[in-house]
Chain A
Amino acid sequence: MATSFSGVPIFDYEALASVLFFIGLAGAIARRNPLVMLMSIELMFNAANLAFIVFSRAWLNNAGQIFAFLVITVAAAEAAIALAIVVVVFRSAQQVDVDDVRVLHG
Protein backbone atom coordinates (compact mmCIF):
# COMPACT_ATOMS: atom_id res chain seq x y z
CA MET A 1 0.00 0.00 0.00
CA ALA A 2 2.67 2.45 0.98
CA THR A 3 5.20 1.39 -1.60
CA SER A 4 2.91 0.86 -4.58
CA PHE A 5 -0.27 2.44 -5.82
CA SER A 6 -2.38 1.90 -8.92
CA GLY A 7 -0.03 -0.97 -9.68
CA VAL A 8 2.93 1.36 -10.15
CA PRO A 9 5.69 1.25 -7.51
CA ILE A 10 6.99 4.46 -6.00
CA PHE A 11 10.40 3.78 -7.46
CA ASP A 12 9.06 4.15 -11.01
CA TYR A 13 7.54 7.54 -10.20
CA GLU A 14 10.79 8.60 -8.58
CA ALA A 15 12.81 7.39 -11.54
CA LEU A 16 10.54 9.42 -13.84
CA ALA A 17 10.99 12.51 -11.66
CA SER A 18 14.76 12.12 -11.58
CA VAL A 19 14.93 11.63 -15.36
CA LEU A 20 12.90 14.82 -15.86
CA PHE A 21 15.13 16.66 -13.38
CA PHE A 22 18.34 15.70 -15.11
CA ILE A 23 16.94 16.50 -18.56
CA GLY A 24 16.22 19.97 -17.19
CA LEU A 25 19.67 20.19 -15.63
CA ALA A 26 21.34 19.25 -18.90
CA GLY A 27 19.32 21.91 -20.70
CA ALA A 28 20.20 24.57 -18.15
CA ILE A 29 23.89 23.72 -18.48
CA ALA A 30 24.24 23.25 -22.22
CA ARG A 31 21.89 25.79 -23.80
CA ARG A 32 22.93 29.41 -24.36
CA ASN A 33 19.51 30.89 -24.94
CA PRO A 34 18.32 32.36 -21.62
CA LEU A 35 14.67 31.59 -22.44
CA VAL A 36 15.41 27.91 -22.99
CA MET A 37 17.54 27.90 -19.85
CA LEU A 38 14.59 29.29 -17.89
CA MET A 39 12.31 26.63 -19.35
CA SER A 40 14.82 23.97 -18.30
CA ILE A 41 14.71 25.39 -14.79
CA GLU A 42 10.92 25.11 -14.90
CA LEU A 43 11.37 21.46 -15.87
CA MET A 44 13.48 20.93 -12.77
CA PHE A 45 10.87 22.65 -10.59
CA ASN A 46 8.23 20.33 -11.99
CA ALA A 47 10.32 17.22 -11.40
CA ALA A 48 10.71 18.25 -7.75
CA ASN A 49 6.96 18.87 -7.55
CA LEU A 50 6.28 15.41 -8.94
CA ALA A 51 8.51 13.88 -6.27
CA PHE A 52 6.71 15.86 -3.56
CA ILE A 53 3.31 14.73 -4.76
CA VAL A 54 4.36 11.09 -5.11
CA PHE A 55 5.59 11.01 -1.52
CA SER A 56 2.52 12.90 -0.37
CA ARG A 57 0.41 10.17 -1.92
CA ALA A 58 2.64 7.43 -0.50
CA TRP A 59 2.30 8.66 3.08
CA LEU A 60 -1.26 9.94 2.60
CA ASN A 61 -0.04 13.22 4.03
CA ASN A 62 -1.03 16.64 2.70
CA ALA A 63 2.25 18.38 3.49
CA GLY A 64 3.85 17.36 0.20
CA GLN A 65 0.97 18.82 -1.80
CA ILE A 66 1.19 22.09 0.11
CA PHE A 67 4.94 22.23 -0.46
CA ALA A 68 4.37 21.67 -4.18
CA PHE A 69 1.82 24.51 -4.12
CA LEU A 70 4.43 26.82 -2.58
CA VAL A 71 6.98 25.71 -5.18
CA ILE A 72 4.54 26.61 -7.98
CA THR A 73 4.08 30.07 -6.47
CA VAL A 74 7.81 30.69 -6.12
CA ALA A 75 8.36 29.42 -9.66
CA ALA A 76 5.82 31.93 -10.96
CA ALA A 77 7.59 34.78 -9.17
CA GLU A 78 10.96 33.56 -10.40
CA ALA A 79 9.80 33.33 -14.02
CA ALA A 80 8.35 36.84 -13.92
CA ILE A 81 11.52 38.40 -12.53
CA ALA A 82 13.85 36.39 -14.78
CA LEU A 83 11.91 37.33 -17.91
CA ALA A 84 11.95 40.97 -16.83
CA ILE A 85 15.73 40.76 -16.51
CA VAL A 86 15.96 39.18 -19.98
CA VAL A 87 13.88 41.99 -21.46
CA VAL A 88 15.95 44.70 -19.72
CA VAL A 89 19.23 43.13 -20.86
CA PHE A 90 17.91 42.88 -24.39
CA ARG A 91 16.85 46.52 -24.34
CA SER A 92 20.27 47.72 -23.21
CA ALA A 93 22.55 45.34 -25.10
CA GLN A 94 20.33 44.44 -28.10
CA GLN A 95 21.50 40.91 -27.66
CA VAL A 96 20.58 38.04 -25.39
CA ASP A 97 23.44 35.62 -25.00
CA VAL A 98 24.36 34.57 -21.52
CA ASP A 99 28.05 34.48 -22.37
CA ASP A 100 28.15 38.10 -23.49
CA VAL A 101 26.08 39.46 -20.64
CA ARG A 102 28.79 39.61 -18.03
CA VAL A 103 28.57 43.25 -17.08
CA LEU A 104 25.20 43.79 -15.44
CA HIS A 105 25.25 47.55 -15.02
CA GLY A 106 22.24 48.21 -17.24
Chain B
Amino acid sequence: MIPFWIIGAVLVISALWTVTARKPIYSVVSLLLNFAALATTYLILHAEFLAVMQIIVYSGAILMLFVFVIALLNSGIAPILLGRDRVPVAPAAAAALAAIAFVATAIAALHAPAIVPIATHSPLGAVGRGNVFGSIGDFGQALFLSRLLPFEVTALILMVAVVGVVLLAGDLAPYVPTRRRAEQARRALREAILREGK
Protein backbone atom coordinates (compact mmCIF):
# COMPACT_ATOMS: atom_id res chain seq x y z
CA MET B 1 0.00 0.00 0.00
CA ILE B 2 2.61 2.54 1.12
CA PRO B 3 5.12 1.69 -1.67
CA PHE B 4 2.39 2.18 -4.24
CA TRP B 5 1.70 5.73 -3.12
CA ILE B 6 5.42 6.59 -2.91
CA ILE B 7 6.00 5.27 -6.44
CA GLY B 8 2.83 6.96 -7.67
CA ALA B 9 3.99 10.30 -6.29
CA VAL B 10 7.39 9.84 -7.94
CA LEU B 11 5.69 8.97 -11.23
CA VAL B 12 3.37 11.98 -11.23
CA ILE B 13 6.00 14.48 -10.09
CA SER B 14 8.57 13.31 -12.60
CA ALA B 15 5.95 13.36 -15.37
CA LEU B 16 5.01 16.94 -14.47
CA TRP B 17 8.69 17.90 -14.45
CA THR B 18 9.17 16.28 -17.84
CA VAL B 19 6.37 18.32 -19.34
CA THR B 20 7.24 21.65 -17.71
CA ALA B 21 11.04 21.68 -17.78
CA ARG B 22 12.60 24.61 -19.64
CA LYS B 23 15.45 22.66 -21.20
CA PRO B 24 14.95 19.36 -23.04
CA ILE B 25 17.86 17.73 -21.20
CA TYR B 26 16.04 18.26 -17.88
CA SER B 27 13.02 16.59 -19.43
CA VAL B 28 15.20 13.61 -20.34
CA VAL B 29 16.53 13.30 -16.77
CA SER B 30 13.08 13.44 -15.23
CA LEU B 31 11.78 11.00 -17.83
CA LEU B 32 14.57 8.62 -16.76
CA LEU B 33 13.29 8.85 -13.18
CA ASN B 34 9.76 8.22 -14.46
CA PHE B 35 10.82 5.10 -16.36
CA ALA B 36 12.71 3.72 -13.37
CA ALA B 37 9.68 4.19 -11.11
CA LEU B 38 7.49 2.58 -13.77
CA ALA B 39 9.81 -0.44 -13.92
CA THR B 40 9.38 -0.77 -10.15
CA THR B 41 5.61 -0.72 -10.62
CA TYR B 42 5.89 -3.45 -13.24
CA LEU B 43 7.84 -5.58 -10.74
CA ILE B 44 5.08 -5.09 -8.16
CA LEU B 45 2.58 -6.19 -10.81
CA HIS B 46 4.53 -9.38 -11.58
CA ALA B 47 5.74 -8.29 -15.02
CA GLU B 48 9.40 -9.17 -14.61
CA PHE B 49 10.40 -9.25 -18.25
CA LEU B 50 8.70 -5.96 -18.98
CA ALA B 51 10.41 -4.31 -16.03
CA VAL B 52 13.78 -5.31 -17.48
CA MET B 53 12.67 -4.25 -20.97
CA GLN B 54 11.55 -0.91 -19.60
CA ILE B 55 15.05 -0.23 -18.28
CA ILE B 56 16.93 -1.60 -21.30
CA VAL B 57 14.78 -0.30 -24.16
CA TYR B 58 13.37 2.93 -22.78
CA SER B 59 16.12 4.15 -20.47
CA GLY B 60 18.95 2.54 -22.37
CA ALA B 61 18.00 3.06 -26.00
CA ILE B 62 15.27 5.65 -26.46
CA LEU B 63 16.46 8.15 -23.87
CA MET B 64 20.05 7.85 -25.09
CA LEU B 65 18.73 8.65 -28.57
CA PHE B 66 17.08 11.77 -27.17
CA VAL B 67 20.30 12.79 -25.42
CA PHE B 68 22.31 12.35 -28.61
CA VAL B 69 19.84 14.36 -30.66
CA ILE B 70 19.82 17.17 -28.09
CA ALA B 71 23.62 17.22 -28.09
CA LEU B 72 23.69 17.18 -31.89
CA LEU B 73 21.23 20.05 -32.28
CA ASN B 74 22.77 22.19 -29.57
CA SER B 75 26.28 21.86 -30.96
CA GLY B 76 25.17 22.76 -34.47
CA ILE B 77 25.49 26.00 -36.37
CA ALA B 78 22.55 27.73 -34.71
CA PRO B 79 20.82 27.16 -31.39
CA ILE B 80 17.33 25.76 -31.32
CA LEU B 81 15.03 28.69 -31.81
CA LEU B 82 11.73 28.27 -30.08
CA GLY B 83 8.60 30.32 -29.84
CA ARG B 84 6.52 30.69 -26.73
CA ASP B 85 4.63 27.68 -25.47
CA ARG B 86 0.93 28.12 -25.70
CA VAL B 87 -2.26 26.11 -25.63
CA PRO B 88 -4.15 25.81 -28.92
CA VAL B 89 -7.81 26.21 -28.11
CA ALA B 90 -9.45 23.44 -30.15
CA PRO B 91 -7.08 20.57 -29.20
CA ALA B 92 -7.09 21.68 -25.57
CA ALA B 93 -10.89 21.69 -25.50
CA ALA B 94 -10.97 18.25 -27.12
CA ALA B 95 -8.46 16.97 -24.58
CA ALA B 96 -10.50 18.39 -21.70
CA LEU B 97 -13.62 16.68 -23.05
CA ALA B 98 -11.68 13.43 -23.39
CA ALA B 99 -10.46 13.75 -19.80
CA ILE B 100 -14.00 14.31 -18.52
CA ALA B 101 -15.28 11.32 -20.50
CA PHE B 102 -12.41 9.20 -19.23
CA VAL B 103 -13.03 10.08 -15.60
CA ALA B 104 -16.77 9.40 -16.02
CA THR B 105 -16.00 6.01 -17.54
CA ALA B 106 -13.61 5.19 -14.72
CA ILE B 107 -16.20 6.11 -12.09
CA ALA B 108 -18.79 4.01 -13.90
CA ALA B 109 -16.35 1.12 -13.98
CA LEU B 110 -15.74 1.61 -10.27
CA HIS B 111 -19.39 0.86 -9.56
CA ALA B 112 -19.50 -2.12 -11.91
CA PRO B 113 -19.73 -5.61 -10.39
CA ALA B 114 -16.48 -7.29 -9.45
CA ILE B 115 -14.48 -8.85 -12.27
CA VAL B 116 -14.32 -12.63 -12.23
CA PRO B 117 -10.86 -13.90 -13.12
CA ILE B 118 -11.05 -16.00 -16.28
CA ALA B 119 -7.60 -17.56 -16.36
CA THR B 120 -6.73 -18.88 -12.95
CA HIS B 121 -4.69 -21.80 -14.24
CA SER B 122 -1.57 -19.68 -14.02
CA PRO B 123 -0.80 -19.41 -10.33
CA LEU B 124 0.75 -16.42 -8.71
CA GLY B 125 4.06 -16.76 -6.93
CA ALA B 126 6.95 -14.74 -5.61
CA VAL B 127 8.75 -12.60 -8.16
CA GLY B 128 11.69 -14.50 -9.62
CA ARG B 129 10.29 -18.02 -9.33
CA GLY B 130 9.77 -20.01 -12.48
CA ASN B 131 6.53 -21.37 -13.89
CA VAL B 132 4.36 -18.81 -12.14
CA PHE B 133 2.39 -15.94 -13.60
CA GLY B 134 4.59 -13.16 -14.90
CA SER B 135 7.88 -15.01 -14.70
CA ILE B 136 10.18 -14.78 -17.70
CA GLY B 137 9.52 -18.44 -18.57
CA ASP B 138 5.79 -17.86 -18.49
CA PHE B 139 6.10 -14.75 -20.66
CA GLY B 140 8.42 -16.45 -23.13
CA GLN B 141 6.13 -19.44 -23.53
CA ALA B 142 3.15 -17.18 -24.19
CA LEU B 143 5.15 -15.04 -26.62
CA PHE B 144 6.78 -17.81 -28.65
CA LEU B 145 4.09 -20.49 -28.53
CA SER B 146 0.74 -18.79 -28.80
CA ARG B 147 1.62 -15.32 -30.09
CA LEU B 148 4.46 -15.84 -32.49
CA LEU B 149 2.89 -13.92 -35.39
CA PRO B 150 2.71 -10.52 -33.57
CA PHE B 151 6.32 -11.04 -32.52
CA GLU B 152 7.39 -11.56 -36.14
CA VAL B 153 5.36 -8.54 -37.25
CA THR B 154 7.29 -6.58 -34.62
CA ALA B 155 10.53 -7.65 -36.29
CA LEU B 156 9.18 -6.39 -39.62
CA ILE B 157 8.21 -3.04 -38.06
CA LEU B 158 11.69 -2.61 -36.62
CA MET B 159 13.31 -3.40 -39.96
CA VAL B 160 11.10 -0.88 -41.75
CA ALA B 161 11.98 1.71 -39.09
CA VAL B 162 15.71 1.10 -39.56
CA VAL B 163 15.43 1.44 -43.34
CA GLY B 164 13.35 4.59 -42.94
CA VAL B 165 15.81 6.20 -40.54
CA VAL B 166 18.75 5.43 -42.83
CA LEU B 167 16.89 6.89 -45.80
CA LEU B 168 15.86 9.98 -43.83
CA ALA B 169 19.01 10.90 -42.00
CA GLY B 170 21.78 8.83 -43.56
CA ASP B 171 24.55 10.35 -45.62
CA LEU B 172 23.43 8.46 -48.71
CA ALA B 173 20.22 10.43 -48.96
CA PRO B 174 20.38 12.57 -52.11
CA TYR B 175 18.62 15.51 -50.54
CA VAL B 176 20.83 15.96 -47.50
CA PRO B 177 21.57 19.68 -47.76
CA THR B 178 24.95 21.29 -47.67
CA ARG B 179 25.17 24.56 -45.81
CA ARG B 180 24.44 26.53 -49.00
CA ARG B 181 21.43 24.39 -49.80
CA ALA B 182 20.31 24.68 -46.18
CA GLU B 183 20.41 28.45 -46.59
CA GLN B 184 18.35 28.20 -49.78
CA ALA B 185 15.85 25.89 -48.11
CA ARG B 186 15.57 28.24 -45.18
CA ARG B 187 14.84 31.19 -47.46
CA ALA B 188 12.26 29.15 -49.37
CA LEU B 189 10.65 28.18 -46.08
CA ARG B 190 10.53 31.79 -44.96
CA GLU B 191 8.98 32.89 -48.25
CA ALA B 192 6.42 30.10 -48.10
CA ILE B 193 5.48 31.13 -44.57
CA LEU B 194 5.22 34.77 -45.63
CA ARG B 195 3.08 33.80 -48.62
CA GLU B 196 0.71 32.03 -46.28
CA GLY B 197 0.33 35.30 -44.42
CA LYS B 198 1.66 33.69 -41.26
Interface residues in chain A, defined as those with a beta carbon under 8 Å from any beta carbon in chain B: 1-3, 5-8, 11-16, 18-20, 22-27, 29-33, 35-36, 38-40, 42-43, 46, 49-50, 53-54, 56-63, 65-66, 68-70, 72-81, 83-88, 90-97, 99-103, 106
Contacts and interface: CB of A to CB of B under 8 A. Distances in A.
Contact of B54 (A72, A81, A93): A72
Contacts of B42: 53
Contacts of A42: 31, 58, 62
B83 interface: yes
B117 A1 contact: yes
Given A77-B158, A95-B81, A100-B193, A30 B16 contact: no
Given A90-B80, A92-B181, 16 more contacts: A32-B83, A36-B27, A39-B28, A56-B47, A57-B46, A58-B115, A58-B117, A62-B133, A68-B47, A69-B53, A73-B154, A75-B58, A76-B161, A79-B66, A80-B162, A94-B182
Contacts, number: 261
A70 B106 contact: no
Contacts of B73: 86-87, 90, 96
B45 A84 contact: no
A75 B88 contact: no
A59 B118 CA distance: 6
Interface string B186-198: 1011001100101
B50 interface: yes
A94 B47 contact: no
Instruction: Kindly list the 3 A-B residue pairs having the minimum CB-CB distance in the complex, ordered from nearest.
Output: A27-B19, A77-B161, A62-B142
Kindly name the residue among B169, B192, B196 whose own CB sees the greatest number of chain A CB atoms within 10 A: B169
A72 B53 CA distance: 8
B128 interface: no
A76 B57 contact: yes
B188 to A, nearest CB: 8
Contacts of A62: 122, 133, 138-139, 142
B131 interface: no
A2 B124 CA distance: 12
Interface in B29-88: 31, 34-35, 38, 41-42, 44-47, 49-50, 53-54, 57-58, 61-62, 65-66, 69-70, 72-73, 76-78, 80-88
A76 B158 contact: yes
B103 A18 contact: yes
Contact of A87 (B69, B86, B119, B182): B69
Given A65-B139, A69-B53, A81-B168, A20 B15 contact: yes
